[in-house]
Chains A and B, each alone.
Chain A
Amino acid sequence: MENSIPSIQPSVASKKSIASTVDFDSLLAQKDARKILRKMLPQKLYYALKEKGPENCLAVLDLLSNEQFQRIIDYDVWHKERLVPKKLFSWLELYHEIEPKKMVERFADLDEEYQIAALAPLLRFYDNDDFESLSEDKQDRLQQFPNQALYYEICSDDPDIHRQITTLLETAMGENMRYAIALVSHSAMSPPEEAEHLLQQFRSARLQEDGFVPFTESQEIFLPLDLRAKKKPTLMSLDSALSLDSKGLLFLDEVLKVGQKGEHYKSLPDLQTALLSCANHLCAALDIEPSDRPSLEFLLGQARSLISLALEYLSNSDPETGFGFLKTEYPKALFRFGLFLLQDLQLYAVKSLASSTPEKAKKLLDYLVQQKFVSLKNYIDTHLLDLLGFIDTQRLSGLLSRLPLRLKQEGANRLSLTTVDSLKDLIDFRNELIALNLKLQIEANQLPSSIDELKNLLQARPQLINNLAVFQAIDTANENSILQILRTL
């Protein structure tokens, strides 16, 4: 049907970057810059620094509080739950550029576990007796503490780490020799990984305050709401929302406008922080590192979209009512509700396939139930492409993901996967799936025996007549019968 395969572009739903509102230059020009800076959320500060480049923000780094710096380290210098000392030293080198002693001060102000965990794998410490017992080659590799019969060795082949640790220790020796000796000796004598293990627990507790909960706890965000709830939402009754003119804004933005009137905003909890916490929770659930900003931005966009969708549904598209919900419901609960609406659509899509390809539909449902989304995507790509065609395969693939996305056509040859962020989107998506179902039924020659059903469906949803898939299906089916029906509508 298509002459060429259109390209599919991922589309980030987030309209605003989480760091884009921080103007460091203006901030530093203010008299109480230190005070203002120290009130900023560490996570927002961290992403703003990464966006601009920490090496370009030395003045900002100098003003950070110890807690803020430690939180930034918590986000940035870890990989898969392991400390990466080189990254920590890179941050400290920036302080050396501001003033050498500030490097030592920053390091000394970190938790003791951070100091030891960073150096323990990389240092060996020797007194005079140990030194004498070593070979000449080995002795040559050691560094001596000035005016002391004490030696240390940096155990790394990485020249950057050698330089960084040497700079740190020589600066420390210049500022406070006793501290330098204690640091090296404690680090070298510390049992392997003990400090890092303790540090992981403290770091984990701090990250949980931001919403980076443990993986086990994070999975709850994907749990649907109680299926036994008396009022189960039905997607087939949402046509009235088609009249809503969104003007390109999220419903959430309309709700926030209500909040800005009068004194309403005072009763609203800090939404930006709550949204970020929700996105952090998703990061934990999807095993994404806190330092992975592009992924966090994407998840923040997802969170905004699904919360907006939930609010629009719950409030029947009334911003005033929506504001009431926003005041009383946790963003995570709203997110779960929005996701629940899409999970309902996922089930509908799979059930639709069952009428034309029952075995493949069963396989899809099994993968969905088992939460095997990678296998699901592979199965769609390999087993349904011939049946559905490229576009519908991508449509299904986007829908049947852990965080469902909708395929949108932009122009003649461009498709994008975007979040579902409004009731109109949800209804359009549902109609696309109804049309796909119709198309499959027609291709399977099932419709001639259910012409009345088709007639009823098109009478109830006349917008389907304009759906391309229906016309494409008419090409292959009992054209006369269907055209006759369409003429009577």
Chain B
Amino acid sequence: MSFEPLNDLECKQLAQIMNIKHAVGRGTRFFTITVNPEKEACLVNVTLKCDDQSYYYPVQGRIEIESQNIRDSVLALLDYIDCYFEEFFQEDENIYLPIDWKEYAFEGLQFHLRGQILNLKSEAAADLLLNTENDQQV
């Protein structure tokens, strides 16, 4: 059974709302949202990042597909992640999520969350450096 809880445009609209709402805390960083349905669950990604991806913070949520109201469940999960970011900014970005999946409950829903702040720009530079070194060794 294929389904699309939120289409691409709706994700962008919700990301726009988050960008407006957290305009002060996010600074020049911005939010993007993707929703990827899998076989038995739906994966929600809310990423806070900057243009060059030197700051890249994907908050991932995973919710089981149990009934027809998956759309409402996904929206409730997005609300929860939005609340998390509100507290994140209020506490000067000192509230973190676990790196590995951890179960949470919110408004009668069970889901898993994880998140880790990355610096993709540095990682890409490091990868390039390592690949160059490997090539040289060969």
Residues on B with beta carbons closer than 8 Å to the beta carbon of A216: 23-24
Residues on B with beta carbons closer than 8 Å to the beta carbon of A219: 20-21, 23-24
**A222 touches which of B10, B12, B20 (Cβ 8 Å):** B20
Tell me whether A371 and B13 are in contact (CB under 8 A).
no
Residues on B with beta carbons closer than 8 Å to the beta carbon of A479: none
Tell me whether A370 and B21 are in contact (CB under 8 A).
no
Which residues of A, 171-220, contact B by the 8 Å Cβ criterion? 215-216, 219-220
For this complex, into which size category does the number of interface residues on chain B fall?
Answer: 10 to 19
Residues on B with beta carbons closer than 8 Å to the beta carbon of A365: 12
Tell me whether B30 and A223 are in contact (CB under 8 A).
no
- Mask, A347-361, CB within 8 Å of B = 1, is 100010000000000
- Mask, A225-236, CB within 8 Å of B = 1, is 001100000000
> Interface residue count for A (Cβ, 8 Å)?
17
Q: B15 on the interface (CB 8 Å rule)?
A: yes
Q: B17 on the interface (CB 8 Å rule)?
A: yes
Q: A224 on the interface (CB 8 Å rule)?
A: yes
**Alpha-carbon separation in the docked complex, A227 to B75 (Å):** 11
Residues on A with beta carbons closer than 8 Å to the beta carbon of B119: none
Known: A228-B75, A369-B30. A223 touches B13 (CB 8 A): no
**Contact residues of A: prevailing secondary structure:** helix
Which residues of A, 319-355, contact B by the 8 Å Cβ criterion? 347, 351
**Alpha-carbon separation in the docked complex, A347 to B15 (Å):** 13
Residues on B with beta carbons closer than 8 Å to the beta carbon of A370: 19, 30
Tell me whether A220 and B21 are in contact (CB under 8 A).
yes
**Alpha-carbon separation in the docked complex, A220 to B13 (Å):** 15
Tell me whether A227 and B13 are in contact (CB under 8 A).
yes
Report the minimal beta-carbon distance from B136 to chain A, rounded to whole angstroms: 37
Tell me whether A351 and B20 are in contact (CB under 8 A).
no
Q: A73 on the interface (CB 8 Å rule)?
A: no
Report the minimal beta-carbon distance from B78 to chain A, rounded to whole angstroms: 11
**Alpha-carbon separation in the docked complex, A222 to B14 (Å):** 13
Residues on B with beta carbons closer than 8 Å to the beta carbon of A347: 9, 13
Residues on B with beta carbons closer than 8 Å to the beta carbon of A117: none
Tell me whether B16 and A371 are in contact (CB under 8 A).
yes
Known: A216-B24, A220-B21, A351-B9. A368 touches B16 (CB 8 A): yes
**B14 touches which of A227, A368, A371 (Cβ 8 Å):** A227
Residues on B with beta carbons closer than 8 Å to the beta carbon of A371: 16, 19-20, 23, 30
Tell me whether A369 and B9 are in contact (CB under 8 A).
no
Tell me whether A369 and B75 are in contact (CB under 8 A).
no
Which residues of B, 2-60, contact A by the 8 Å Cβ criterion? 9-10, 12-17, 19-21, 23-24, 30, 32
**A369 touches which of B19, B21, B24 (Cβ 8 Å):** B19
Report the minimal beta-carbon distance from B86 to chain A, rounded to whole angstroms: 11
- Mask, A436-465, CB within 8 Å of B = 1, is 000000000000000000000000000000
Write the residues of chain A forming the contact surface with B, with a CB cutoff of 8 angstroms.
215-216, 219-220, 222-224, 227-228, 347, 351, 365, 368-372
Q: Can you name 15 extra interface pairs (CB under 8 A) apart from A228-B75, A368-B16, A372-B30? A: A222-B20, A223-B20, A224-B17, A227-B10, A227-B17, A351-B9, A369-B12, A369-B15, A369-B30, A369-B32, A371-B16, A371-B19, A371-B20, A371-B23, A371-B30
Sample (22) of A-B pairs whose CB atoms are under 8 Å apart: A216-B23, A219-B20, A219-B21, A219-B23, A219-B24, A220-B21, A223-B17, A223-B20, A223-B21, A224-B13, A224-B17, A227-B10, A227-B13, A227-B14, A227-B17, A228-B75, A365-B12, A368-B16, A369-B12, A369-B15, A369-B19, A371-B19
**5 closest A-B pairs by CB:** A370-B30, A369-B16, A216-B24, A219-B23, A371-B19
